[in-house]
Structure 1
């Protein structure tokens, strides 16, 4: 997750005026909280979990002494580093303490009391189901309610996730981000402009997890609807013959056979992003990024007109980070091209933060496999209970961060890009909405009703048979700086030192830390910096030591 505090606001409520720190999560404004609220959260976190992995919390000032502009900015920066360090510790993020705080803070910032409302949950084919919910229900409540309504077994619910999607006026679909566990989807949608919606998709990367879903007819239909949608968008590298076979299986309503064939085609279980610009293998080269099982694939168009793919294995990324400047966002990762040869690869993209979230999801799945754990079930999740009195607020003023030089503009992506070429070479084969029922299913009456819900007979469809297309979109404007945060690592034991030498050791350690930080970020201009997301290469490489990848990157590609 990407936490930042890009600016402060002066707010007035029934208790008087105060300064609020505006917290953004994964590029979106989430809440505005007081220093005292964060101080209480810090005290409780340290009491329950200790403080070894956390940054220093900025100390309190003398009561009734108003902070100057420089002091307030210093406090904002320290609070930002503190919340980023907190978000790195998974046991804290998954705790009821953390989730209740940020769910309540979102509700308080939205000035919204808990009330009965309706919320539309969409499938990939545009069909939707309207759920009666509370305005403050968190995403896990919504996910479980939807899956149970369509009769998906509890053990399969968390194979799926809820995503925020923006459907542009021309029909282009943009996956913005995955909805967080401590987030209320209703509140998140409430103030968004344009056609934003909550969409259900699978949230795993290894296609072998499909086998678990193939045992259930409802799960098969969810996979099938998603597959039809992704094929229509041209996310798969299918030949004309393979597209013809897929169309024949679709006409026969052979869902399982359709999915089995699709698994043998390139880029299955990948999420394809909007067009971007990369500095690899050449500077400012247009491309397409896809993220899937254990890897990030960068597809570029060379000067000779040849389409070339570069496969970056996640287990060979030493770390990655996201930097935002003005309206530009950049994902960069330090890649192990060969033994003792690391090189930074930079990608400018409007979906840079979502790319980073996907990378973290891939790493989490690899670690889950290593540890032998399984997907959680509703009975395993943390239940958040909270009572909150909403105080009426009024924003009096906002203090923005000083403007910084922007990342250089990305050149326009020409229509000779990989995405445009796929549109011209048959990837636009018509895939109608999956609205028909499978005549060969042996489901009982209850299951038939659920199947009709998934495939469209009992659900509203806002855009039936509308042609979805992928084209370059301008970067989303953002006044904040969102950065990657790393997973938690055990704190190294401190060396014992005499009382007289502790101060010198501390100064020396801080000097070395500042030197490393400065060198690490010297190549990127940003309104602020953060520690990159680190990966333990030795641990993760062991997971895939027998894995064979389609293409490795050598010196010839540099």
Structure 2
């Protein structure tokens, strides 16, 4: 599954010999991830090719003459596409070569040395778990440490994730981003310019039916209960009045099992809510409150007249989407950490034989895209499991066995664009039926 890498800016820097080189600012999910030179990425690509060969996407070629402005822009775009495509292969991103390089460039960019530190990881009930880690430990490693400390069964760790979460005094919260497995939580926390940010532990699936996979583990059940209570208190869940009263009574009795059973019947249980934003439907400038989960995008739209409309977009009818960076970087020669968050996510929706684009203007466009991809991957995993159960091999004497056909290549369902590239790429994002390989 491709990741949200982009290189919106590059800078020329003097080298030790009096010449100049280009330093590329690489962003992941809209946040500064690292700054690297072309030569560093080229050596990394060579190391990866010794292991993975032609599995890798093409790497931008070297230029032996001075680059023009157009050539420099083209290389930046090519490096951006390379980083997006190289992360589409799970075997590559799980390799030591991949992780070790990205660990080093993250540390180097932020001038962080490898040392022991204590990291506070917030739980949904407001408590924090203190873990002893290295500054160079990845999110995958930190998650394993936290899970071990909580007594979470190792096979269930993948149902949870570490998130960058912004906390507000009144108890509200905003999920800023999901940390990728190879990100360094310590570095991400240091580099973020978002106020009151913490590293938080939350479940990372959007199909409520998956709760059943975790209920036999006491630690997992405790975490699900904590998050359900938190979502109830901050009004991410939408219970009826009768459900609300019953949930309060069960919470007071600390009856976790019954609380979770009832929660799964509540509207928007297990959904992730985004901060208030705007959209273009049914007319430009409408306010929007989005929540994502259970294979749908739920949107409460406030019209200019003050009236509200509730719309649910089913993921089975979402044909493609793209995140577009509309703004410019602030202080491009300074220590910027986040993009000027002038972002939009637009998705193509098919209903009753008609198609239209729905545009959402939100600072959380990258995180919203991650949620959409998560729902797609969960749906594909469920379909694959159902198909494998239906396929029963019946031996036939003399029957010729054909090798399994290769899945057709599908166009990617997600694009990241900058405003200057919108017209060029507007027609490049339509996909048909997805396959697991397409993710």
Measure, in 1, the Cα distance between the counterparts of 2:49 and 2:409: 15
Give the counterpart of 1:368 among 371, 381, 398: 381
Give the counterpart of 2:43 among 31, 40, 44: 40
* 2:25 paired with 1:22: yes
Q: What SS class does the counterpart of residue 321 from structure 1 fall into?
A: strand
Q: 1:245 to 1:82 in 2, by over 3 A?
A: same
Q: 1:536 to 1:47 in 2, by over 3 A?
A: farther
Structure of higher RCO (CA pairs closer than 8 Å, 6+ residues apart):
1
Please, which runs of 5 or more residues in structure 2 have no aligned partner? 328-340, 387-406
Match of 2:335 in 1: none
Q: 1:538 offset after TM fit, Å?
A: 6.4
Q: 1:198 offset after TM fit, Å?
A: 0.5
Give the counterpart of 2:433 among 537, 542, 546: 537
Q: 1:301 to 1:153 in 2, by over 3 A?
A: same
| 1:333-374 deviation line (CA, Å, top 9, x unaligned) | 1111123x221111111211110010011111122223339x
Q: 1:197 offset after TM fit, Å?
A: 0.5
RMSD: 2.8
Match of 2:270 in 1: 269
Match of 1:390 in 2: none
Give 1 or 2 for the bigger CA radius of gyration.
1
Are the counterparts in 1 of residues 172 and 234 from structure 2 also a CA contact under 8 Å?
no
Q: 1:240 to 1:226 in 2, by over 3 A?
A: same
| 1:34-89 deviation line (CA, Å, top 9, x unaligned) | 111222233344454454773x4332122xx5434443233222222222232334
Displacement over 4 Å in runs of 4+: 11-17, 50-53, 168-172, 302-306, 489-492, 529-535
Q: 1:88 to 1:202 in 2, by over 3 A?
A: same
Match of 1:424 in 2: none
Q: 1:303 offset after TM fit, Å?
A: 6.2
Which deviates further from its counterpart, 100-109 or 526-535? 526-535
Are the counterparts in 2 of residues 328 and 349 from structure 1 also a CA contact under 8 Å?
yes
* 2:343 paired with 1:338: no
Please, which runs of 5 or more residues in structure 1 have no aligned partner? 374-488, 493-512, 514-519, 541-558
Q: What SS class does the counterpart of residue 99 from structure 2 fall into?
A: helix
Give the counterpart of 1:357 among 355, 363, 370: 370
* 2:110 paired with 1:110: yes
**TM-score normalized with structure 2 length:** 0.82
Match of 2:61 in 1: 59
Q: 1:12 offset after TM fit, Å?
A: 5.8
**TM-score normalized with structure 1 length:** 0.65
Q: What SS class does the counterpart of residue 101 from structure 1 fall into?
A: helix
Q: What SS class does the counterpart of residue 421 from structure 2 fall into?
A: coil
**1:356-505 aligned within 5 A:** 356-372=369-385
Match of 2:148 in 1: 148
Give the total of aligned pairs. 393
Are the counterparts in 1 of residues 277 and 362 from structure 2 also a CA contact under 8 Å?
yes
Give the counterpart of 1:347 among 328, 341, 360: 360
Measure, in 1, the Cα distance between the counterparts of 2:34 and 2:418: 27
